[in-house]
Amino acid sequence: MFSARYETYKATLKKIPATRLSRLTEALANYDPVLNEYFFDRHPGVFAQVLNYYRTGKLHYPTNVCGPLFEEELEFWGLDSNQNTI
């Protein structure tokens, strides 16, 4: 699997409250103060859809990822798979 780096605004991550991304703090173990970034060892293709959901409010299921994996990733990020899915 490949790795990917994503950048976004804090305001974007605050759009969906009570989720893992909306609660990011520098006190978390996966925060690197030298690089000023967070590291998550998660599926990068699914994360692209998660981040797009924060931006657009619409959640798209990727066709190249099996349903159970996608559901597991959504659960990790604290998202409900039944909201605004396409």
With beta carbons less than 8 A apart as the criterion, state whether 69 and 43 touch: yes
Percent of the chain with pLDDT over 90: 81
- pLDDT tens sequence across 23-49: 999 888 999 999 999 999 999 999 999
Q: 84 pLDDT band (50/70/90 cuts)?
A: low
Checking 56-60 for CB contacts under 8 A at 24+ apart, the result is: 57/15, 57/84, 58/84, 58/85, 58/86, 59/83, 59/84, 59/85, 59/86, 60/85, 60/86
At 80 the pLDDT is 85
At 81 the pLDDT is 73
Instruction: Place domain 10-77 in its CATH homologous superfamily.
Output: Potassium Channel Kv1.1; Chain A (3.30.710.10)
- Across the range 49-74, mean pLDDT stands at 94
Distance CA 41, CA 30 (A): 10
Checking if the pLDDT of 85 tops 70, the result is: no
